[in-house]
Amino acid sequence: MKIHASQSVLLVIDLQGRLLPAIEDGAAVLSNATWVVDVARTVGVPVLATEQYPQGLGLTDADLRARLREDAIISKTHFSAVSEGALLASADAVRKQWVVVGTEAHVCVQQTVLDLLAAGREVFVVDDAVGSRHARDRERALQRMERNGAEIVTREMVAFEWLARADTPVFRDVLKRFLR
Nearest in space to 125 (alpha carbons), one of 169, 58, 78, 143: 143
Nearest in space to 115 (alpha carbons), one of 151, 139, 79, 141: 79
Q: Whole domain around residue 156: which residue ranges? A: 5-178
Predicted confidence at residue 180, as pLDDT, reads 76
Condensed to tens digits (0 to 9), the pLDDT of residues 84-128 reads: 999 999 999 999 999 999 999 999 999 999 999 999 999 999 999
Tally of domains in the chain: 1
Q: What share of the chain is helix, strand, coil (3-state, %, to 5)?
A: 50, 20, 30
CATH classification at residue 13 = 3.40.50.850
Q: Is the entire prediction scored with pTM above 0.85?
A: yes
